[in-house]
A and B are shown apart, each in its own frame.
Chain A
Amino acid sequence: MNRVFSSEWLKIARPATVLGWMSPVVLFAFMGTMFNFMDAATDAGQFRGPFGIAPGPEQLAAPDGWIIGIHSASSFIGLIALAIFATNIARDYEKGTIRILLVAEPNRFRLLIGKLLTLSSFIILITAGATVVTMLASLVLAPGENIPVDAWFSWQGIRELLIGFANISLATIIWGLIGGVLAITTRSAAISISGGVGFLLIFELLIGQFVESVGTKLPATVLGALASGGTFIIEYSTALILSLAYGAASITVASLIFIRRDVTD
Chain B
Amino acid sequence: MNNLSKLNTSDGPVLSANGLTKRFGKLKAVEELTFEMPRGGVIGFVGPNGAGKSTTIRMLLGLIRPTGGNAEVLGHGICTPSAYLHKVGAIIESPVFYPSLSGSNNLRALAKLGGFLPEQVPRVLEMVGLSSRASDKVANYSLGMKQRLGIAVALLPNPELLILDEPTNGLDPAGIVEIRNLLRQIGNSGRTVFVSTHLLSEVEAEADRLVMIHNGRLVFAGELADIMQRACEAVYAAPENTADLPLLTRIISESGHLFRQEDDAIIITAPKEWSSELNRLATSKGVNLRELRPECESLEDVFLSMTRGEVAT
Residues of A with Cβ closer than 8 Å to B?
Answer: 3-4, 6-8, 10-11, 14, 16, 95-97, 99-107, 262-264
| A102 pairs with B110, CB closer than 8 A | no
Residues of B with Cβ closer than 8 Å to A?
Answer: 24, 58, 61-65, 81-82, 85, 88, 90, 92-98, 100-101, 105, 108-110, 112-115, 153, 156
Residue of A with least CB distance to B108: A10
| A3 pairs with B105, CB closer than 8 A | no
Residues of B within 8 A of A16 (CB): 100
| A10 pairs with B62, CB closer than 8 A | no
Residue of B with least CB distance to A107: B82
| B96 pairs with A95, CB closer than 8 A | yes
A258, chain B: closest CB distance, angstroms? 12
A73, chain B: closest CB distance, angstroms? 28
Q: How far is the CA of A178 from the CA of B112 in the complex (A)?
A: 27
Residues of B within 8 A of A6 (CB): 112
| B115 pairs with A100, CB closer than 8 A | no
B79, chain A: closest CB distance, angstroms? 11
| B62 pairs with A264, CB closer than 8 A | no
| B64 pairs with A105, CB closer than 8 A | no
Partner of B114, one of A11, A14, A105, A264: A105
Partner of B98, one of A4, A97, A99, A106: A97
Given contacts A97-B97, A106-B81, A263-B58, contact A7 B112 (CB under 8 A): yes
Q: How far is the CA of A131 from the CA of B40 in the complex (A)?
A: 59
Residues of A within 8 A of B108 (CB): 10
A142, chain B: closest CB distance, angstroms? 41
Partner of A11, one of B58, B65, B98: B98
Residues of B within 8 A of A100 (CB): 90, 92, 95-97, 110, 153
- 5 A-B residue contacts at CB 8 Å? A10-B105, A101-B110, A106-B85, A263-B58, A264-B24
For the complex of A and B, list the 4 residue pairs with the smallest distance between their C-beta atoms, beginning with the closest. Answer: A104-B114, A7-B113, A262-B64, A7-B112
Partner of B63, one of A3, A10, A105, A263: A263
Given contacts A4-B113, A6-B112, A106-B85, contact A97 B96 (CB under 8 A): yes
A-B contact sample (10 more), CB < 8 A, given A10-B109, A100-B95, A262-B65:
A3-B113, A10-B105, A99-B93, A100-B97, A100-B153, A102-B63, A103-B88, A262-B58, A262-B64, A264-B63
A260, chain B: closest CB distance, angstroms? 9
| A264 pairs with B58, CB closer than 8 A | yes
Q: How far is the CA of A165 from the CA of B214 in the complex (A)?
A: 60
Partner of A10, one of B96, B112, B153, B156: B112
Given contacts A7-B112, A16-B100, contact A99 B85 (CB under 8 A): no
Residues of B within 8 A of A8 (CB): 109
Residues of A within 8 A of B85 (CB): 103-104, 106
Residues of B within 8 A of A3 (CB): 112-115
Q: How far is the CA of A3 from the CA of B65 in the complex (A)?
A: 25
Residue of A with least CB distance to B115: A3
Residues of A within 8 A of B62 (CB): 102, 106
| A106 pairs with B82, CB closer than 8 A | yes
Residues of A within 8 A of B24 (CB): 264
B120, chain A: closest CB distance, angstroms? 12
Residues of B within 8 A of A106 (CB): 62, 81-82, 85
Residue of B with least CB distance to A105: B113
Q: How far is the CA of A262 from the CA of B110 in the complex (A)?
A: 21
| A99 pairs with B96, CB closer than 8 A | yes
Residue of A with least CB distance to B112: A7
Q: How far is the CA of A107 from the CA of B112 in the complex (A)?
A: 15
Residue of B with least CB distance to A102: B63
Residue of A with least CB distance to B89: A103
| B109 pairs with A103, CB closer than 8 A | no
Q: How far is the CA of A7 from the CA of B121 in the complex (A)?
A: 14
| A264 pairs with B112, CB closer than 8 A | no
Residues of A within 8 A of B93 (CB): 96, 99
Partner of A14, one of B82, B100, B110, B113: B100
